Amino acid sequence: MKKGNSSLDIINGPLYKNIMIFSIPLMFSQMLQILFNSADTIIVGKFAGDSALAAVGATSSIVFLLTSLFSGLATGSNVLIARFVGLGNKQKISDAVHTSILIALLSGFFLTFAGFFSARFLLGLMDTPADILDQSTLYMRIYFAGVLFLLLFDFGSAILRSKGDTKRPLYFLIISGIINVILNLFTVIILRWDVAGVATATVISEAVSAFLVVFILLKEEGEMKLDWKKLHLNKEITKDILRIGIPAGLSGVIFSLSNVFIQSAINSFNSTSVVAGNSAGANIEGYVYIGYTGIVQATITFTSQVMGAGRKDRLFPILKATVILVTGLTIVASALVCLGGPWILRLYTDEPSVVDIGMIRTNWVAKYLVLNGLMDAFVNSMRGMGVSTLPTLLMVLGICIVRMMWLGFVFPAMKTLDSIYMCYPVSWIITLIIEIVLWVIVYRRVMASWHFKDR
């Protein structure tokens, strides 16, 4: 049986070893992203004040809401190209690479326009405090002016990841992250641009990472090589990318939409300290994601390749390995973040009240993120098997609706920050149970018929 064109023997090789080889660069990438984001937040909080920190934090849920759908399309590219790698179909790999890059370009141009002109309106809908509304709007407009670079990097990294290459995107992230920190120090401390400086540094660093990944694809050999003259939208491949990618992106939209409601509930306290504490608490949660982000990415790539190669006997062992790794690594990461939370949060702000608020979020969200990791493992396994719509529909029920009902009925009765953050573990537990049941159904149908299709 062919191994495909991957640098790893995903189809036949040892699972735990190869999953870790695949995942470790992604974990380092996640860790570096968090460190660089933390540096941004620390620089803003220390040198521009809590108002600037709150202004940047108030945009995060909207930014993620607008970008997650299109970033989800990169997941569709990853699944499809990995499937073609497993099949060994060079022509389809080439068609998928060029279709994916063109989708990234078209999506980037659209999102730039939509994000730039809707920024103030969306922030207003969220009841963003008046004293930070102008700064938040400025940050969003600068950020979305360069969002094309983010999508190019996402799609380019997905293309490389589909054949097992997770190292080079890590190197690009290191370079762009260092540039981002240096530019933050320069624009915020020396030029005194505050939130505009942070946004400008982000756009420039993302442009660097996009240039590097595109440059590498232009220099690739064989079917993965990018040729600008070959950019086109292959009808069937585009359809499959959208079929898998749109539901994957919608799951991110659902998460971020629920977070928009949560941010609105937090804004209802009309306190800059509450918004700033929530922002800092959300930032350090990222360190817990390090424990499982790479593993759940491995789930989708490994599953897609073995599907392409016809090795359905590897489907359950892949899920079992990723579930074990996600559980162990995430529990350790959560414990470290919760124990060290007060010291980490003091890096962001000198205000004790902001630290206390950050810890409220940490104790309710970071502590239980293993549930989110397990849910992602099951969902990505189904996406790798080509089933993306059903997991997303059930995600709507388990995440968005539960959180909206919680914020609509429980929070008004209690009116505390704890009562807001409780909706995270509650929604994760419900959704995880639903996704496990769905996975069993999908797996049985795939094993019964190799031609099972999404519906």
Residue 314, domain extent:
15-447
**Residue 251 covered by a domain:** yes
8: pLDDT confidence band, cut at 50, 70 and 90? low
Reply yes or no on whether the pLDDT at 33 is more than 90.
Answer: no
**Residue 122 covered by a domain:** yes
- What number is the average pLDDT over the span 29-45? 76
Cβ(95)–Cβ(259) under 8 Å?
A: no
Reply yes or no on whether the pLDDT at 412 is more than 70.
Answer: yes
4: pLDDT confidence band, cut at 50, 70 and 90? very low
**Residue 420 covered by a domain:** yes
**Residue 23 covered by a domain:** yes
Output the pLDDT for position 7. 55
Q: Would you give the end-to-end CA distance of the chain in angstroms?
A: 30
105: pLDDT confidence band, cut at 50, 70 and 90? very high
Q: What is the mean pLDDT of the chain?
A: 88
**Residue 5 covered by a domain:** no
Cβ(205)–Cβ(177) under 8 Å?
A: yes
Q: How far apart are CA 2 and CA 306, in angstroms?
A: 10
Sign of CA dihedral 30, 33, 39, 40: negative
- Report the range of poorest mean pLDDT among 81-85, 188-192, 200-204, 253-257: 253-257
Sign of CA dihedral 284, 285, 288, 289: negative
- What number is the average pLDDT over the span 388-394? 85
Reply yes or no on whether the pLDDT at 2 is more than 50.
Answer: no
- Exposure b/e, 356-386, CB count within 10 A at least 16 = b: ebbbbbbebbbbbbbbbbbbbbbbbbbbbbb
Sign of CA dihedral 388, 389, 392, 397: negative
**Residue 4 covered by a domain:** no
Using alpha carbons, select from 166, 146, 164 the residue that is nearest to residue 213. Answer: 166
Cβ(277)–Cβ(353) under 8 Å?
A: yes
**Residue 455 covered by a domain:** no
Output the pLDDT for position 455. 37
Concatenated DSSP letters of 334-402: HHHHHHHHHHHHTTT-S-HHHHHHHHHHHHHTGGGHHHHHHHHHHHHHHHHTT--HHHHHHHIIIIIIH
Q: How far apart are CA 367 and CA 246, in angstroms?
A: 30
- The one-character DSSP state at 406 is I
Output the pLDDT for position 54. 83
- The one-character DSSP state at 13 is S
CA distances from 52 to 43, 49, 80 (A): 10, 6, 42
- What number is the average pLDDT over the span 410-434? 94
Reply yes or no on whether the pLDDT at 452 is more than 50.
Answer: no
| Count, residues in the chain | 455
Output the pLDDT for position 398. 85
125: pLDDT confidence band, cut at 50, 70 and 90? confident
Sign of CA dihedral 304, 306, 311, 314: negative
Reply yes or no on whether the pLDDT at 224 is more than 50.
Answer: yes
**Residue 10 covered by a domain:** no
Identify the three-state secondary structure at position 235. Answer: helix
- Report the range of poorest mean pLDDT among 185-194, 282-291, 367-376: 282-291
- What number is the average pLDDT over the span 224-228? 95
- Report the range of poorest mean pLDDT among 51-65, 156-170, 208-222: 51-65
Cβ(93)–Cβ(83) under 8 Å?
A: no
Contacts 24+ apart (CB under 8 A), 329-334: 329/291, 329/292, 329/295, 330/288, 330/291, 330/292, 330/369, 330/370, 330/373, 331/291, 331/370, 332/291, 333/287, 333/288, 333/290, 333/291, 333/369, 334/288, 334/291, 334/366, 334/367, 334/368, 334/369, 334/370
Concatenated DSSP letters of 261-289: HHHHHHHTT--HHHHHHHHHHHHHHHHHH
421: pLDDT confidence band, cut at 50, 70 and 90? very high
% of the chain residues with pLDDT over 90: 57
- Exposure b/e, 75-108, CB count within 10 A at least 16 = b: bbbbbbbbbbbbbeeeebbbbbbbbbbbbbeebb
Angle between helices 15-47 and 293-309 (to 10 degrees): 140
Most confident of 14-28, 126-140, 200-214: 200-214
pLDDT tens for residues 243-267? 888 887 877 777 777 877 898 899 8
Output the pLDDT for position 265. 92
Q: How far apart are CA 193 and CA 204, in angstroms?
A: 15
Reply yes or no on whether the pLDDT at 6 is more than 50.
Answer: no
- What number is the average pLDDT over the span 360-384? 94
Reply yes or no on whether the pLDDT at 372 is more than 50.
Answer: yes
- What number is the average pLDDT over the span 139-165? 93
3-state secondary structure 110-157: HHHHHHHHHHHHHHHHCCCCHHHHHHHHHHHHHHHHCHHHHHHHHHHH
Q: How far apart are CA 178 and CA 40, in angstroms?
A: 11
Q: How far apart are CA 151 and CA 158, in angstroms?
A: 10
Cβ(407)–Cβ(261) under 8 Å?
A: yes
- What number is the average pLDDT over the span 56-76? 83
- What number is the average pLDDT over the span 38-67? 80
Output the pLDDT for position 57. 79
> Into how many domains does the chain fold?
1
